[in-house]
Amino acid sequence: MASLQVGAGRGVGCCFGPLDGRRQERRAMAALRPPRAGAGAKVAEEDKVRLGESSVAVSKLGIGAWSWGDTTYWNDSEWDDRRLKEAKAAFDASIDNGMTFFDTAEVYGTALMGAVNSESLLGDFIRERQQKGAVDVTVATKFAALPWRFGRGSVLSALKKSLERLGLPSVELYQLHWPGLWGNEGYLDGLADAYEQGLVKAVGVSNYNGVLSGKYTPENPPTGPRGNTYTPEFLTKLQPLMNRIKEIGVSYGKNPTQVSLNWLTCQGNVVPIPGAKNAGQAMEFAGALGWSLTFDEVEELRTLAREIKGIKMPIEES
C-alpha cells in the first residue's frame, strides 16, 4: 500500500505546490490554473483532500493500480481475462464507493512476460465507464528516473507517452517515482515544464511504506519478492502495533485494514492509496470511510508506529 503525503514534511509520498527559487514562480503560476472539469457525479468537497499547495483536491482514499496488468511482482507471473475482469470490477467498485483517485505509473505492467501496461488499462476503464454515464476521476502517474534518461526533456517525453496510454489530455498529479541516479535537477525542471504546458496540475515524489492489513504475520510471511521486504523479523516488530489496531477494530466493527486506512486519513495530510485487485478489496477499503478514530487513538497508534523502523520497497533500492 502506498500513501501520498500532501503536506509539508517527510513521508512515503509528497506532493509539492510551488518550490524554491526560479521554479517557485513557475509552479505558482501553474497552480493557479483551474482543475480539469470532471465528468458526472462528484465526490463532495468535504470528502476530499487538497494536494499540498496546489488547487487539486482528491478523494480521501485513493486506489493503487500497480497490480493491474503486472506479471513481475503481482498476479503469480500471469495476466489473463479473469484478472482483467477483476481489475475492471475493482475500478467500478471504487468509483461506486466514492474512491475516485487512481494512482498508476509508466513502469507498472511493463511489457514483460505477457504484462499489460497499467496506464493503458486505467485509461480503458475510464472510457468504458464514461460510456455508461458521466464519471469524475482524478489520476496520478509517475516518471521513472531510469539511468539512461537525462534532463528535463525526458520528463516531458515520458509524460506525453503516459497521457497517450491513459487517453487523457492531462493528469492531476505527476510524480518522480524514485530519485535519479545522476541527480534530480533536470527532472524537477521537467516537472516545471509540464506545469507550464498544462499537462499536470500538481507534482510530487513517490515512496512506499506500510503493511498494516494484518494479512502477514511472523508465522505467515509473504512469498515471492515481497518476502524479502516483509521478513519474519520485521513482522515480529510490527506485532504490538498490529495487536492494538485489531483491538480498536473490534470496538468499531472494522477489520485491521479499515482501521489502518482510517488512521492514515486522520493525519489530515495523507491520502492512503491501497492497491485493489478486485471488487471485494475495493469495497473493503471503502469501509475505512464515513467514520473516524478518536484523537487519543490516532496518537496512540502514531506512538507505536514510531517505534518501528521503516521499510523500503524494492523499487526504492534500485
In the residue annotation, 108 being an active-site residue is answered as yes
User: CA-CA distance, 132 to 67, in Å (whole number)?
Assistant: 25
User: CA-CA distance, 155 to 157, in Å (whole number)?
Assistant: 5
Residue 254 cell numbers, joined: 472494522
Pair 77, 113: CB distance under 8 Å: yes
Residue 124 cell numbers, joined: 480503458
Residue 203 cell numbers, joined: 507534482
Pair 314, 269: CB distance under 8 Å: no
Residue 297 cell numbers, joined: 487513538
Strands 171-176 and 200-206: parallel
Q: Which residues contact 199 (CB under 8 A, 6 or more apart)?
A: 156, 159, 160, 163, 169, 170, 171, 174
Residue 71 cell numbers, joined: 506479471
Which residue of the set 73, 108, 174, 187 is catalytic?
Answer: 108
Residues with catalytic roles: 108
